[in-house]
Amino acid sequence: MNIQTNPAKIELTSASFPVITEAPIRSNFMPEDRLRELGAGLAKGDVKDLFGLAPFEFQARIRDSAKRILEVYRSTNAAQAKGETITPAAQWLLDNNYLVEETIFQVKRDLPRRFYRQLPTLKLADGTTVPRALALAWTYVAHSDSSVSATMFKAIVEGFQSVEPLKIGELWALPSLLRFVLIENLRRIAVRVNRTRQMRQIANEVADRVLATDDNADRQKILSHYGSHAQDTTFATQLLYRLRDGSQNAGRALEWLESELEKTGSDAEEIIISEHHTLSSGNVTTGNIIRGLRLINDVDWTVWFEGVSRIDTLLREKTDFAALDFFSRDQYRTAIEELARRSELSEFRVAEKAIELAGHVLIADASGAEVPQAEAPDTDATVHTDVGFFLVGPRRLELEKAIGYRPTISVTVKRAFSATGWLGVVVPVFALTVLLLALAGNALDHLGLALPSIVVMLALFAVPASEGALAFFNTVVSLFLKPTRLVGYDYKHGVPAEARTLVV
């Protein structure tokens, strides 16, 4: 399901007042144990909202965020070139724009539209439906002030999985979704940074005009256009700063500003404190976002994934999964995903079923009779009971039958072709060779060659024709059939004694 935060808009009033509609993704900071509880609550549907999250189209949002951030970067860069003072948050953006662009590219690459739409969703307490993985990333960013920690992120994910295991694809998507939420937050802060700069510029223009006139009527006419601006902390703070020079013109303008603030029950000291708090929190959050984007690139997410995956944990506990190399482990995971996608069982239940079958498979005893594994001698108990035989090996059909797997048409066709064995290669290649020879013979006949000459030429052409046919066949088949990779063991610390053998 797609979601969207309301697009950030800067609208201009009659007095060129920039109005912003989005707040940063920020809530109260939570320690590790509270994040774990929050993750569990999210899985149960206890969380009411996700801090301003609303329906949006994912790819359109990331493109729009890239556009907004680039606009702010260019305007801020131009302002700095003119000698204007910029905030630390703006400086973070200027110094790290390359990192932001790289992150946006990674998000677009790793989260294509089709994959994003396949992510399982959950319904929040307010009825909003969002992808579970995005909800986790969004909630984590909100309660960590955009500060990224692999350990803290693991806590909220584990909390969620204590109620409902995440799918393999969801876990792989989490780092990219975390990048997306950080970019979303940076977009919101960047728009606010730009607005702050605009408001300071407006305040400076007002101060210049007020201080330049000695006519009280003209001064009141100028200030009358900025009554709504006076309620903005950035505008009011900057105007106060400019007007505190002790001049008569400044004093009358200050009286106007104070009267405008009193209308809302505020005063100069309060708005200055509020503005400083807003600026400092924005600076801190922006710094956290940039450092977080760097940390995401530095974390080994493969290790992190295997530490949080419930399926990996199950396979490590029940099988020799941990001893396999990474590509073999990933092969098992891919098989589990494929099987679960076309059955009524979850990925976790598919893994459990494979382990169950491997533990109760019938093997031959010394007399040739089939007996359960538990009753077989220890020396023979592991011959054909590895879970890999059911996930990626010759006994996969047994697992498919046990879980109610429904193969797709393409899978059925591929299996039918594979079942033909060597005939599936010889017959097409032979037919292509005959076709090439027929075409060549027809061409030679049109050239007016005698039959004996044609026969000799075709005999000489037979071998290259067969090689060409075989090469064409291999090319076509490789487009539809992937090579089967043999399962292998890692053996980082050397080959164990029980696995040693003699290679002749």
Relative to beta strand 362-364, strand 370-372 is: antiparallel
How far apart CA 204 and CA 242 sit, in angstroms, is 7
* pLDDT exceeds cutoff 50 at 447: yes
Q: What is the dihedral of CA 318, 324, 329, 335, to 10 degrees?
A: -70
Rounded average pLDDT over 312-334:
91
How far apart CA 315 and CA 347 sit, in angstroms, is 12
Q: What are phi and psi of 370, to 5 degrees?
A: -85, 130
How far apart CA 394 and CA 413 sit, in angstroms, is 18
Q: Could you tell me how far CA 188 lies from the centroid of its own chain? A: 19
Paired strand residues for 489: 324
How far apart CA 47 and CA 108 sit, in angstroms, is 28
Query: Of 170, 106, 95, which Cα lies nearest the Cα of 137?
Result: 170
Which region among 12-16, 221-225, 494-498 has the lowest average model confidence (pLDDT)? 12-16
* pLDDT exceeds cutoff 90 at 332: yes
List pLDDT tens digits, range 257-293.
Answer: 887 777 777 777 888 888 888 888 889 999 999 999 9
Helix or strand holding residue 24 (H, E): none
Q: Return the higher-pLDDT residue of 405 and 220.
A: 405
Rounded average pLDDT over 40-47:
87
pLDDT of residue 297: 95
Domain locations in the chain? 1-308, 315-406, 413-480
